[in-house]
Structure 1
Amino acid sequence: MAPSTVTTPPVGRPGAVVTGVALLLMAATFVPLGYIVSTIFSIGIDRAADLVFRPRVGDLLRNTLGVVVCTAPICVALGIGLAWVVERTDVPGKSWWGPLFVAPLAVPAFVDSYAWISLFPTMHGLWAGVLISTMSYFPLAYLPAAATLRRLDPAVEESARALGSGPVAAFIRIVLPQLRLAVLGGGLLIALHLLAEYGAFALIRFDTFTTAIFEQYQSSFAGPAGSMLAGVLVLCCFALLGVDAGLRGRGRYARVGGGTQRSATRIRLGIGVFPVLVVLAGVTVAALGVPLWTIGRWLHIGGAAVWNLGEIGHALRQTLGLATVAALLATACAFPVAWIAVRSASVFARLVEGANYVTSALPGIVIALAMVTVTIRWAPPLYQTASMVIAAYVLLFLPRALVAVRAGFAQVPVGLEEASRSLGKSALATFFLVTLRLTAPAAAAAGALVFVAVATELTATLLLAPLGTRTLAMRFWAFSGELDYAAAAPYALIMIVVSVPVTYLLFNRSRAVAGA
């Protein structure tokens, strides 16, 4: 009698449920683009062209591209410079500078803007936007640069210095080319944030596409003019993605050879340590000291009266509730996409994963306008409901969850899943007993990233939130818009406190990855 065999489906082949969820998510990511295209056809090509090719759009394009072109290189240069000082020199207190340069990520950009205009009420225009944006977003360049420097083989730099190159020359010739991917990645992320930024620029009265779209929505309720501005903004996003892809090219950067990774020999700063410390302290004061001092000042001026515990508690509960639900849902949705992306090398896998990353390039206001239009036209009962707010959050922040969950999936040995299936376990049982347990740390990180993003999200919430919704960001925005800076201070402080744990998590993960 021939022995019986147990046939199990290949682990690399997605089941019907996984494929169905992935297809549904991919379709949802195309809703914002479909909204733009449908608007163009509904109003006609000629009318759309009239709305796009007008002086107002030219002014907005000049302002928007101006702040991107000025801010992104400054952030990248500052981030790389700070990372090199912390990772390659003997600057005193190097264990403290790293966390301090990541901490500004815990301060939302619109809170930074509120802090600076509290000190200098006449601040407005391009250079005010560049200053505030730089202090808000340079950590996005610092993190990848510092992680890359920790992974680079120090022997190459030391050989260059032994052959007569000074520290600066060795950095330019040897280190900087190896930072190319980190530079481009950080620069792209900063540029996309700048295209989507609303609150920081609105407070300093600096008009960009995002602020103009929001104003247009408020005046004409998602009229054609606002939709066309959104279309131009989407084209700007895709142009940035194209430039980034072209600059990256096909170059590969890897550390060759095995052996134990060792730390680089620290460069002695000597007398130069004093100006370096002045620069490091100045950046810290501008990025952290100004917002924290301003918030503390307004809390002192307002006294106990600004601590309306009932209102603050209500806003905190709503914020935590929306952020928790969105984080859980986005993380759950990331699992089928990550599974397909890691376990399959098909064209379908690349399409599913790529569609979600393209969505991350779209500003929140475009996604919110698309959700408004879809619900008004085809699903009126869902308009201004919590379900639509959460759906927008998932579309906005699913890519953040996907990055973390995908990394977790990549570290799960396929053999363990196959062994579970060969022992008669179902695909669902294998997922809970093997896959989920091994990816739990990555899933927790993904949920935390989405949680803090939702807790400080402003633009989409303002457009989509149902009546009665008062999140921390909305209450802060309402008070700061009325110039009641003292009443806004408690909400700013709580948003920062909520964001600090995730910022610390990002810093630790960056160090862990670099040391892997």
Structure 2
Amino acid sequence: MRQDLAAAAVKGRRARRHGGVPWIPIAAVAVSLFASLPLGFVVVAAFQAGWETVSALVFRPRVGELLTNTLFLVVLTVPVSAALAVALAWLTERSDLPGARLWSWLAVAPLAVPAFVHSYAWVTLVPGMHGLWAGVFISVIAYFPFLYLPIAAALRRLDPALEDAAASLGLSPRRVLLRVVLPQLRLALCGGGLLVGLHLLAEYGLYVFIRFDTFTTAIVDQFQSTFNGAAANMLAGVLVLCCLTLLGVEVLVRGEERYARVGPGAARLQQRARLGRMTLPCLALPLVVAMLSLGVPFITIGRWLMHGGAQVWRMDEIGLALGQTLFLALAGGLLATLAAIPMAWLSIRAPGRLQRGLEGLNYVAGSLPGVVVALALVTITVRVALPLYQTLFTIIAAYGLMFLPRALISLRASIAQAPVELERAAANLGRPPLRALWATTIRLSAPGAAAGLALSALGITNELTATQMLAPNGTRTLAMAFWNHSGEIDYAAAAPYAAIMVALSLPLTWLLYVQSKRMAGR
């Protein structure tokens, strides 16, 4: 009897020490190493090419032109998007703007319209829109919601006592905004700005429509002309360096200041500022933004649908594209969610230096543009595993790599809310480690897993570049069908696919908006 009790005690201690599931660290390491393949591909490609080839392909006028375009695009778009997002967030969260809740939702809704559909709408409306300024304009109206969401959430959580104390010291409302409110928004501005910047580096379709060359458009052109050539690989290397530089700049700008407070803060909501005579001029801003970011795409799609009539609704082709898109979105989202479980569990249950390093690999890989991920998988499958080239396995693996961070962030938050004592109790009661994990933490974190799957599926639904490069012959997603028709200047035939993509994305965007409200306590 005593031996049985001793054995049970030893088993319980091991379960507590290792989390009860010893294979989880192994799985987390395996997923992290797989996620680092695109980054490793860039390093290996540069090493194999040799310094002479690298210098000849990188230090040339064409790369300088692309770098200049990219620099101006990021430097102009991110600050303008930030200013627009701060203004809209202040009006909807801190002023008595009429219909603030409606304008708040309309500020998030542009995320439901793929960036290349924004570009399609504007180019068909204003055919002369080309070049840098067109790229900045369309990028701002397509991507500013990535900044609006965290800024609005930060304003809701900001302790009103901070502003009251500053006002009591004699600071004017403008100086309170500049010296108290804006510094508290630094994390939101840095995080949202990083998202916008990474999207600018990765975007392809938007800039092809307006004939503005970026690294991504140049890589795809090189890939289509020379397949797996050294020029495309070296351009991918420069693009990766741009992404890593952007990550480093965000870390430096973010700093290490403390933004948390001790205690719940003031037990009241922030009093909304009265706009008075400025109500109508202030209403013009969200109204104009909504018309530019939502009205133009919806009106343009509707106009082309009416122009094309019933004949553009080729239900056999549309049904095939819709079915393939839903299948790939579900399969890719499910893979990303399952692959994120080990790392999410490890980051909460066993934090440490190794865990942080492995988790960083997942985020860095997820920040790389889809064209780099696709190029890496093309090279690997062609050189090492040719039977996997242009197969469902490869395209779904690419989706898993690209959208792993979305699932990881959602799962981490849910696992953190699942008490570890439940896992230990299940293990002590004699359940096998996997069953104990499934019966407790996995079930309790199901909402987070569902959110991660939905966010990943939303991204896959609108993904274009990697799908074009990796999809098996005969694959025709909504994005690919839209791109093929628009590339043939058949804008009417492209309109149904644009409408369906927006219709699929709107409910998920609404869920994202509602979730952001709940997390901010509203």
Q: Which TM bucket (shorter chain)?
A: over 0.9
- Counterpart of 2:434 in structure 1 is 428
SS in 2 for 1:205: coil
Residue of structure 2 equivalent to 1:391:
397
Match of residue 209 from structure 1: 215
Q: Does 1:132 align with 2:131?
A: no
The alignment status of 1:505 with 2:506, answered yes or no, reads no
Residue 13 (str. 1) matches residue 14 (str. 2): no
Secondary structure of 1:44's aligned partner: helix
Checking the alignment, whether the CA contact within 8 Å between 1:11 and 1:343 is kept in structure 2 is no
Aligned length: 516
* 1:205-284 matched pairs, under 5 angstroms: 205-258=211-264, 261-284=267-290
- 1:161 CA drift (Å): 3.2
User: Offset of 1:159 from its aligned partner?
Assistant: 3.3
Q: Alpha-carbon deviation of 1:114?
A: 0.1
Equivalent position of 2:306 in the other structure: 300
Shift of 1:113: 0.2
1:482 and 1:108 map into 2 onto residues whose CA distance is 19
Residue equivalent to 1:89:
95
Following the alignment from structure 1 to structure 2, what is the Cα–Cα distance between the partners of residues 446 and 12?
28
Contact 2:110-2:142 within 8 A present in 1 as well: yes
**Deviations along 1:445-494, whole A, 9 cap, x unmatched?**
00000011101100000000111000000000001111111100000010
Partner of 1:43: 49
Alpha-carbon distance in 2 for matches of 1:190, 1:382: 33
CA RMSD of aligned residues (A): 1.3
> Using a 3 Å threshold, how does the CA distance of structure 1 residues 235 and 507 change in structure 2: closer, same or farther?
same
Which residues of 2 match residues 44-63 of structure 1 at below 5 A? 44-63=50-69
1:106-505 to structure 2, matched below 5 A, reads: 106-258=112-264, 261-505=267-511
Within 2, Cα distance between the matches of 1:261 and 1:134? Answer: 36
**Distance in structure 1 (CA, Å) of the matches to 2:343 and 2:88:** 36
Letter in 2 for 1:385: T
Amino acid corresponding to residue 13 of structure 1 in structure 2: H
Change (3 A) 1:425 1:238: same
Q: Distance in 1 between matches of 2:456 and 2:511?
A: 13
Instruction: Between 242-251 and 83-92, report the one with greater CA deviation.
Output: 242-251
Deviations 1:97-154 (A, max 9, x none): 1111000000000000000001101110000000110011000000000001111111
State percent identity of aligned pairs: 54
Listed as ranges, the gaps of 5+ residues in structure 2 are none
Tell whether the 8 Å contact from 1:100 to 1:284 is kept in structure 2 after alignment: yes
C-alpha displacement of 1:167: 2.8
Gaps of 5+ in 1: none
Q: Which amino acid aligns with 2:111?
A: L
1:197–1:210 CA contact under 8 A, matched in 2: yes
Contact kept? 2:36, 2:362, Cα under 8 Å: no
Query: Conserved in 2, the CA contact under 8 Å of 1:12 and 1:343?
Result: no
Distance, in Å, in 1 between the alignment partners of 2:267 and 2:299 is 41
Q: Deviations over 1:259-302 (max 9, x none)?
A: 67421111000000111001110001001101011000100100
Query: 1:163 Cα shift?
Result: 4.3
Name the CA distance, whole Å, in 2 between partners of 1:261 and 1:331: 38
> Deviations for 1:68-104, whole angstroms, at most 9, x for unmatched residues?
1100111111111111111100000011111110000
Give the TM-score normalised by structure 1: 0.98
Q: In structure 1, what residue type is equivalent to 2:5?
A: S
Deviations 1:198-254, CA, capped at 9 Å, x for gaps: 000011100000000000000100200111000000000011111111112211101
Q: Do residues 4 (structure 1) and 5 (structure 2) align?
A: yes
d(CA) in 1 for partners of 2:476, 2:174: 51
Q: 1:63 and 1:12 mapped to 2: Cα distance?
A: 53
Matched residue type, 1:4: L
Letter of the structure 2 residue corresponding to residue 509 of structure 1: Q
The verdict on how the C-alpha distance between 1:335 and 1:12 changes in structure 2, with shifts beyond 3 A counting, is farther
After TM superposition, which residue ranges in structure 1, 4 or more long, deviate above 6 angstroms?
A: none
Alpha-carbon separation, structure 2, partners of 1:4 and 1:369:
57
